[in-house]
Amino acid sequence: MKKGKTILRQPAELLFKKELTALKKADDYPKPENWQLSPQRVVDFIMGCQLDKIKISPKYFGDRSLIEIAVATLATDRALLLTGIPGTAKTWVSENLAAAITGNSRLLVQGTAGTHEDQLLYGWNYPILLAKGPVPEALVPSPVMRGMESGAIVRIEELTRMPFEIQDALITLLSEKSMPIPELNQESNAISGFNIIATANDRDKGIHEMSSALRRRFNTVVLPLPESIEMELEIVRNRIAPELMAERDKKADKSSIEEIKRVITIFKELRDGKTIDGKLSLKKPGSTMSTAEIIGMVNNALAMAVYFGNRKIDGELLAKNLKNTIVKNQDTDLIPWNEYVEMVMKKREDYDHFYQVVAEKK
């Protein structure tokens, strides 16, 4: 990287380096071999806690027991599968788990329909292969092989987007903890500390359901949507783009928080198919109404406020982005959205400024 350039997205082990260092110093609990933190301190890192001199920020807002189950799984010989609808922090949790346990969250395989078996097992340096044949120096290890040989956590994103035959390449290495290399008449063996964290969405198109043989080798933890508006608000506040907040030079004021809370209420009511008081049933949009969409929308409104406005997140800026964020598919989302605007938003006095902007864009 060129000197003076800002990294847009630091890995969790660098972003939270001070927190991890503090937890290491305060870690008197037993820990598995090759783990840099004990399971207890890994959970503290994810859920947040207060040490003597430093506050450990929460990375996940939800049921602590879910994270305890996930961490306990990684201390066994079973792999971990984090599932849930898009936007429930699966990737964020997997990255921070790997950072806390291994100190390296970059052993990563991104699952797609085009993922090749080489990306899970190993490939070859073809110039060397052609010159010398299948020799060890021609082997190109995958992130999974490197994780096995170093006793580290490997992350596999969107496992169910991979074709069945590619997914099932994991079965032998998860059950036998070894990876055969028949071309060299040898195998790569996993050492203590190695495990896999996979993530999978359960609503996206293009999903390849896992085989029962592969699913048995994972312990599945479902990460749900936030249970309350207050919890979802806390998540959004903690994920507002820090570079934009730095430009703004102050924390979100009370009025901005109230406007964000109104947005969260709109999303929750459309997601649940009913108003908060339960008195009115609503049609649900077909698209995912996740916290991730709210975070993206708030960050966009903040960028507009910083660079084009009065540096304040107001209802007008948020309202301008509401329809485009919610209506992703005209066929499945537009009717529920229009009905919500007329049946709910229009009748709420404290949403009148939202309605005025939204009505103009209909």
Tell me which residue of 20, 57, 10 sits closest to 42, measured CA to CA. Answer: 20
Give the C-alpha separation, 129 to 132, whole Å. 5
State pLDDT tens for residues 29-60.
999 999 999 999 999 999 999 998 899 999 99
- One-letter amino acid at 39 equals P
What is the CATH code for 12-222?
3.40.50.300
Residue 244 is predicted with a pLDDT of: 57
Kindly report whether the global pTM for this prediction surpasses the value 0.95: no
With b meaning 16 or more CB within 10 Å and e meaning fewer, what string describes 195-226? Answer: bbbbbbbeeeeeebebeeebeebbeebebebb
Element (H, E) at 90: helix 90-102
Largest CA distance in the chain: 77
CA-to-CA dists, residue 356 to 144, 240, 336, 347, angstroms:
53, 26, 18, 12
Every domain of the chain and the residues it spans: 12-222, 229-361
Q: Is the distance from CB of 96 to CB of 47 less than 8 angstroms?
A: no
Give the C-alpha separation, 217 to 198, whole Å. 11
Burial environment of residue 82 by CB neighbours within 10 A (0 to 12, 13 to 18, 19 or more): buried
| Band (311; pLDDT cuts 50, 70, 90) | confident
State pLDDT tens for residues 62-111.
999 999 999 999 999 999 999 998 888 999 999 999 999 999 999 999 99
* Mean model confidence pLDDT for the chain: 90
